Amino acid sequence: MAELSVTDQSGKVVIKNIGLILSGDIDQPVLSADTVVVQDGIITAIGAYKDCDTGHSKTVIDAKGVCLAPGLIDSHVHPVFGDWTPRQNQLGWVESSLHGGVTTMISAGEVHLPGRPKDIVGLKALAITAQRAFDNFKPGGVKVLAGAPIIEKGMVEDDFRELAQAGVKLLGEVGLGSVKAGEEAQKMVAWARKYGIQSTIHTGGPSIPGSGLIDKDVVLEADADIIGHINGGHTSLSEAHVCELCERSNRGIEIVHNGNEKIAIAAAKAALELKCPHRVILGTDSPAGSGVQPLGILRLISLLASLGNIPAELVFCFATGNTARMRNLNSGLIEVGRAADFVFLDRAQHTAGKTLLESVQLGDIPGIGMVMIDGMVRCGRSRNTPPATEIPVVLGH
């Protein structure tokens, strides 16, 4: 199938002949249905084709028996402005991640901006500007939730109130600025939480100049909403300390591509053993010194499924519904009322796996045949994944 141009496909969309629906819901990861109906970018029906109202549709997509999953959510990125990263001096990295199935990205701080202001007035101005800019500009249609200030010494409660009133909903990684002590961080995290701003803490060794070691005791004392890159970004805490964090904290357990892979598996398995798999979310922690990884979330899914021996359908929930619920997003789950952000997946051509899930369980990444955001087709066959065995077809619009 040729690359699709982005067209206005709002209105009624019917997706039929779906072979497998991954819901994103870790309590029910697979749905028994073959049809999804969308109206103006919102899911209105999921079920058997014969039971759904499929008439008067503007667009019909024949899924050709492939898997429909929620669009992947990258819980940890470091954007700057537009679709450019100065860290790698690369253009188009966000749109390229669309071809890796990512439909939403969440900033952990715009830390790579050359000359990033560290005074309180400047850091607030940068956060508000980034929030406004990415609210207005969606590269390739990808939703980038940005405007995540790096907290610095001297900030007071009123600064967090002002940020929240301006629309800022995130803090950048606690520990990348001058606030590194657990007690000081805890106070500011509590102020942020009071005004509806979600926080993430850096975990592990230093990653950029100005950052430092954030150990388990600081993470526990700070009590941020998300234990950011619990497997290190890049250098991890010890496996014993990471498992202790999983056990002693009830906050989000974020595993990233650009971290320690052995510890990534250990953290995910610890969450399963503690019977809290809903706490696990996935990110790439890119752009970074190790580059930009458009397939980073898919590769992390295949890593955890294959080497971690975690059922693939559960791991997909780590990258979709878990993140959506933790981050209060209206995407990430295939259920009525949610945004129609979808990725169409099939087993890669010539994989040893006989099904999509089996191929991922064996360690292969799937092929992407189409990505939709808010009910609009944003790309056809991915230019980055291996070719999928089957490709969905737009029958008309």
* Predicted confidence (pLDDT) per residue in 201-239, tens digit: 999 988 766 667 899 999 999 999 999 999 998 899 999
Q: Are residues 96 and 122 in the same domain?
A: yes
Q: Are residues 248 and 158 in the same domain?
A: yes
Q: Work out the percent of the chain whose per-residue pLDDT is above 90.
A: 93
Residue 7: pLDDT over 80? no
Q: Work out the percent of the chain whose per-residue pLDDT is above 70.
A: 96
Per-residue pLDDT band at 377 (split at 50, 70, 90): very high
What pLDDT is recorded for position 8? 52
CATH number of domain containing 49: 2.30.40.10
The answer to the question of residue 312 being in a domain is no
- Please state the rounded mean pLDDT for residues 144-152: 98
* Predicted confidence (pLDDT) per residue in 111-125, tens digit: 999 999 999 999 999
What pLDDT is recorded for position 208? 66
What pLDDT is recorded for position 290? 87
Burial (CB count within 10 angstroms: exposed 0-12, middle 13-18, buried 19+), residue 354: exposed
> Distances in Å between the alpha carbon of 329 and those of 170, 197, 254?
13, 14, 16
**Domain, as residue range, for 187:** 72-294
Return the closest-CA partner of residue 276 out of 267, 265, 284, 285.
267
**204 in Cβ contact with 214 (< 8 Å):** yes
Q: Which residues pair with 168 in a beta bridge?
A: none
- Please state the rounded mean pLDDT for residues 37-47: 97
Residue 5: pLDDT over 80? no
Q: Are residues 340 and 267 in the same domain?
A: no
End residue of a domain, out of 240, 268, 294: 294
Q: Are residues 59 and 108 in the same domain?
A: no
Residue 396: pLDDT over 90? no
Based on the structure, what is the number of domains in the chain? Answer: 2
